[in-house]
Amino acid sequence: MSATATHDTETLATETLSGAEIVLRALKDQGVDVIFGYPGGAVLPIYDALFQQNAIRHILVRHEQAAVHAAEGYARSTGKVGVVLVTSGPGATNAVTGLVDALMDSIPVVCLTGQVPTHLIGNDAFQEADTTGITRPATKHNYLVRNVADVGRVVHEAFYVARSGRPGPVVIDLPKDILINKGRYNGMPEATHKSYRPATEPDPAAIRRAVAMMKGSKRPIVYAGGGVINAGPEASRLLAELVHLTGFPCTNTLMGLGAFPASDKQFLGMLGMHGTYEANLAMHGCDVMVNIGARFDDRVTGRLTAFSPNSLKIHADIDPSSINKNVRVDCPIIGDATKILRALIAAWKADETKPDTGAIAAWWRQIEQWRARDCLRFRQPTAADAIIKPQYAIQRLYDLASLTGKDTFITTEVGQHQMWAAQYWKFEKPNRWMTSGGLGTMGYGLPAGMGVQIAHPDALVIDIAGEASILMNIQEMSTLAQYRLPVKVFILNNEYMGMVRQWQELLHGGRYSESYSAALPDFVKLAESFHAVGLRATKVGELDDVIGEMLAVDRPVIADICVDQKENCFPMIPSGAAHNEMLLGPDDQAPKGSGGAGVTEEGMVLV
Amino acid sequence: MTDMTTRQAVMAVLVENEAGVLARVIGLFSGRGYNIESLTVAPVDETKNQSRITIVTTGTPMVIEQIKAQLDRLVPIHKVSDLTIEGPHIAREMALIKVAGTGDRRVEALRIADAFRARVVDATTESFIFEMTGSTDKLDAFINLMRPLGLVEVSRTGVAAIARGPRGI
Ligand SMILES: Cc1ncc(C[n+]2csc(CCOP(=O)(O)OP(=O)(O)O)c2C)c(N)n1
Ligand SMILES: [Mg+2]
């Protein structure tokens, strides 16, 4: 240090650090205790700084996509921001699927990507990719840091953006010279963000209008989504309070499962394409719909022109762009779900109008009739050597896992098994269910489960998987072994990309083009080669023992559950059909209504 | 039912003048399939480091409401205003119009330019460049009149717009 520098009071106040050290200081100040990453040339300075500190733990994944899903699992199960560190070029491009996944499901993630040194940017340098260009539509926001003096501020801003308003992924692209250069770290900034300040306080007039609609309703329904989970556990508590206070029925979206207790009498189950009969018909027939933190996704609405045609719609969302995007609503409320729910409860109590209890009781009688249809019924032959029905496997897993008394977290891959998990698992609390809803990313569940287990070391974490999906990030078994993460992979092995096969059966004349899972590995041996326990059940008589053993061992497990290959996931609203044109399972004895007529030419083009 | 008739909207967008902000706005329009009829951008406040983007677009009322909401949630965007519905506004664009010809056609071009208050900013014995400012319609009308008179090429700035009255965006 030169003599002049010691005279500089500013230098004395704040020492100079390398960009990489500033990154880690800022992460620590944000309360980060773990990051999921994979090294490479451009981020070596950060790995060097990581080596020399103890505050932040690094989990070495086996593929950058998995790092992002792990961070998502961590974030969804804790409510904190998940953090990812990857190198430039292929490290960054590998992370893109995870980023889009987090964007679609509103998961707060900060992803640090290495970049070639600033003077090489634009030169097609080794492992250069236009990361901010590629990830612009894949993130909520992204940054390319061009000056070491900006590093600290940008990291703090990225966390603010990732967690505020509607949460989402943020990329910080860090050129290698910026990580090496020395600069000052000024700590957490006090100033509010210059341009990004999402509104969280609901408009009292909108709350009053909503309550007036709710009080006047004869056939109400509460439709709650992932926004309630994102708002934190207090929002879920308030949701239950509101539903109990009003006596309204409540349904959850795929992303909202756990926001309302599944065992509650007022719960109608999940709605949407594979939702329950009662939830979808109640949505179709309601006169007032109270949407809290859901976005009228096409998996939920079915054919838009036929969606809940006679209802007044209240839509509470933190993102103004979700309002009137797909469905015109009558009473938008913009704000944080916790604050909105609290305000709705207070206004409901303050409003003297008596709700129409007679009409609502009649509505419940109608709902009970729909419920009596028992749309999730399936028939499991009881002979010990009978083939296992996938629904039964999940039910047994649920029953036996409940007996352990452990806090249980479920992740899934994508396909029929995912929908069966959503239908048959009873989520009582928020943050226990991680699934790729918006993007539908096969390969999500195993790494997400890894992130959950890191955050909750003593919890039971189960990835309910399909034999096809699991192969998309199977390399993460190695990460489980390295960190002794006892994640259980429960494969419903139907030897088909079952969801694809189901669509081909129902919509493409049973032409099973490329949907057979040929040449599968022996999952038991695969588990063993990854230092995990491998188990298999091929008939009903073996199922409980396999599940019992899986739950008993304190190690990673792959349980290969060979299930009925022909089973389809019902109820199903085919793409382009309306809620009241639902297909029910083969066991449903009652007349099917329009049944297969729900499949239209226009519906065929939809995914 | 939802209104399916389309209308034009002029959006004024105040943005932080930082790298990538224009790409974000354009990417939003292409990614979500919105129309851009014209887009202009320039810094307007050096001290606050802000630029202003003016976008002319068309869509159903629901789509235009979406465009505004989608722009508004981009992180570096300070303010979005749909000038078409928030009271009267002034919208102008500037064009440079090159017309080549001799004899009667040249005289006629100059006569029409005069009537439209287009200025001659360059002239040779066989060509003019006119500079003209006005509404998009007026520019279109003038350019159409120049077509048979030897129109060579046109360069237009796109629309700049601002609300009438004392208040700012
Ligand atoms: C990355 C990715 N590629 C393709 C798809 C399309 N897709 C959706 S479900 C599915 C089949 C999944 O098969 P499996 O994991 O065996 O689950 P199953 O439906 O049999 O339960 C496919 C290919 C997808 N969702 N994600
Ligand atoms: Mg399968």
Q: Provide the pLDDT for residue A209.
A: 98
Greater model confidence, A602 or A329: A329
Q: Tell me, yes or no, if A354 is annotated catalytic.
A: no
Coil/strand/helix, residue A433: strand
- Residue range A170-197: average pLDDT? 95
The distance of B25 to chain A (nearest Cα, Å) reads 10
Q: A414 alpha carbon to ligand 1 midpoint, in Å?
A: 5
- CA separation, residue B125 to residues B106, B109, B116, B117, B131 (Å): 9, 13, 22, 21, 18
**Pair of tokens at residue A591:** 């007349």
- Of A193, A209, A224, A410, nearest to A317 by C-alpha is A224
What architecture is the B7-82 domain classified under in CATH?
2-Layer Sandwich (3.30)
Decide: A485 and A522 in contact? Cβ < 8 Å.
no
Among B25, B73, B79, B169, which would you mutate to test the A interface (most chain A Cβ atoms within 10 Å of its Cβ)?
Answer: B73
Q: How confident is the model at residue A7 (pLDDT cuts 50, 70, 90)?
A: very low
* Catalytic-labelled residue, pool A499, A550, A572, A582: A499
Report the mean per-residue pLDDT for chain A: 95
- DSSP character for B118? P
Predicted confidence (pLDDT) per residue in B98-146, tens digit:
999 999 999 999 999 999 999 999 999 999 999 999 999 999 999 999 9
Residues of B in contact with A323 (CB under 8 A): 69
DSSP annotation string for A107-146: --EEEEEEE--GGGTTS--TT---HHHHHGGGSSEEEE--
pTM, to two decimals? 0.96
**Taking 90 as the threshold, does the pLDDT of residue A603 lie above it?**
no
The Cα–Cα gap between A224 and A236 comes to 10
- Of A264, A235, A233, nearest to A250 by C-alpha is A264
Q: Long-range contacts made by residues A157-162, C-beta under 8 angstroms, separation at least 24?
A: A157/A189, A157/A193, A158/A110, A159/A30, A159/A81, A159/A110, A160/A193, A160/A196, A161/A193, A161/A196, A161/B75, A162/A81, A162/A108, A162/A109, A162/A110
- Residue range B52-65: average pLDDT? 97
Residues of A in contact with B4 (CB under 8 A): none
- Of A203, A435, A441, A223, nearest to A327 by C-alpha is A223
**Taking 80 as the threshold, does the pLDDT of residue A47 lie above it?**
yes
Q: Long-range contacts made by residues A48-55, C-beta under 8 angstroms, separation at least 24?
A: A48/A20, A49/A18, A49/A20, A49/A21, A49/A23, A49/A24, A50/A24, A53/A24, A55/A24, A55/A28
Predicted confidence (pLDDT) per residue in A206-237, tens digit:
999 999 999 999 999 999 999 999 999 999 99
- Residue range B137-159: average pLDDT? 98
Predicted confidence (pLDDT) per residue in A8-46, tens digit:
444 445 689 999 999 999 999 999 999 999 999 999 999
**Pair of tokens at residue A99:** 């980023």
Residues of B in contact with A198 (CB under 8 A): 73
- CA separation, residue A193 to residues A82, A279, B21, B78 (Å): 21, 41, 16, 10
The Cα–Cα gap between A487 and A453 comes to 7
The Cα–Cα gap between A342 and A332 comes to 16
Q: Provide the pLDDT for residue A4.
A: 43
- CA separation, residue A430 to residues A144, A239, A259, A291, A408 (Å): 35, 11, 5, 17, 11
- Residue range A155-172: average pLDDT? 98
How many helical (H) and strand (E) elements, i.e. helices and strands, does chain B have?
Answer: 4, 9
Coil/strand/helix, residue A439: coil
Q: Provide the pLDDT for residue B2.
A: 63
Q: Provide the pLDDT for residue B108.
A: 97
Torsion, Cα of B136, B141, B142, B147 (10° steps): 120
**Does ligand 1 come within 6 angstroms of the Cβ of A492?**
yes
Contact check, Cβ <8 Å, A141/B75:
yes
User: What percentage of chain A carries pLDDT values higher than 70?
Assistant: 95
**Pair of tokens at residue A199:** 């509104």
Q: Which residues contact A355 (CB under 8 A, 6 or more apart)?
A: A214, A215, A217, A246, A247
- Of A280, A322, A286, A282, nearest to A577 by C-alpha is A280
Q: Provide the pLDDT for residue A518.
A: 97
Coil/strand/helix, residue A454: helix
Q: How confident is the model at residue A139 (pLDDT cuts 50, 70, 90)?
A: very high
A91 contacts chain B (CB < 8 A): no
**Taking 70 as the threshold, does the pLDDT of residue A591 lie above it?**
no
- Beta strand segments in A511-578, E: 533-537, 557-562
Contact check, Cβ <8 Å, B75/A140:
yes
The Cα–Cα gap between A159 and A29 comes to 11
Q: Provide the pLDDT for residue A15.
A: 81
Q: Provide the pLDDT for residue A575.
A: 85
End-to-end CA distance of chain A: 64
The Cα–Cα gap between A467 and A147 comes to 47
The Cα–Cα gap between A64 and A130 comes to 17
Residues of A (186-225) whose Cβ lies below 8 Å from B = 193-196, 198
A544 contacts chain B (CB < 8 A): no
Q: Tokens 């297909």 identify what position?
A: A583
Coil/strand/helix, residue A236: helix
DSSP annotation string for A409-427: EEEE-SSHHHHHHHHHS--
- Of A133, A200, A323, A297, nearest to B68 by C-alpha is A323
Decide: A258 and A236 in contact? Cβ < 8 Å.
yes
- Residue range A118-145: average pLDDT? 98
- Residue range B4-14: average pLDDT? 95
Q: Tokens 């700590």 identify what position?
A: A187
Q: How confident is the model at residue A156 (pLDDT cuts 50, 70, 90)?
A: very high
Domain residue limits, chain B: 7-82, 90-161
Assess whether the previous peptide bond of A571 is cis (omega < 30° from 0).
yes
Smallest CA–CA distance from A144 into chain B, residue: B19
A118 contacts chain B (CB < 8 A): no
Predicted confidence (pLDDT) per residue in A93-131, tens digit:
999 999 999 999 999 999 999 999 999 999 999 999 999
**Does ligand 1 come within 6 angstroms of the Cβ of A419?**
no
Find the radius of gyration of the CA atoms of chain A: 25
Q: Which ligand is nearest to the CA of A415?
A: 1
Q: Provide the pLDDT for residue A579.
A: 86
Which listed CATH number (3.30.70.1150, 3.40.50.1980, 3.60.40.10, 1.10.1660.10) goes with B90-161? 3.30.70.1150
The Cα–Cα gap between A19 and A451 comes to 27
Task: Please indicate whether the domains covering B7-82 and B90-161 agree at the CATH topology level.
Answer: yes
Decide: A82 and A36 in contact? Cβ < 8 Å.
yes
Closest CB from A142, A194, A324 relative to B65: A324
Q: How confident is the model at residue A355 (pLDDT cuts 50, 70, 90)?
A: very high
The Cα–Cα gap between A135 and A121 comes to 16
Burial of A353 (0-12, 13-18, 19+ CB in 10 A): exposed
**Does ligand 1 come within 6 angstroms of the Cβ of A445?**
no
**Pair of tokens at residue A54:** 């103890």
- Of A80, A89, A4, nearest to A36 by C-alpha is A80
Predicted confidence (pLDDT) per residue in A401-450, tens digit:
999 999 999 999 999 999 999 999 999 999 999 999 999 999 999 999 99
**Taking 50 as the threshold, does the pLDDT of residue A5 lie above it?**
no
Q: How confident is the model at residue A600 (pLDDT cuts 50, 70, 90)?
A: low
> What value, to the nearest 5°, has the Cα angle with vertex A237 and ends A232 and A239?
95
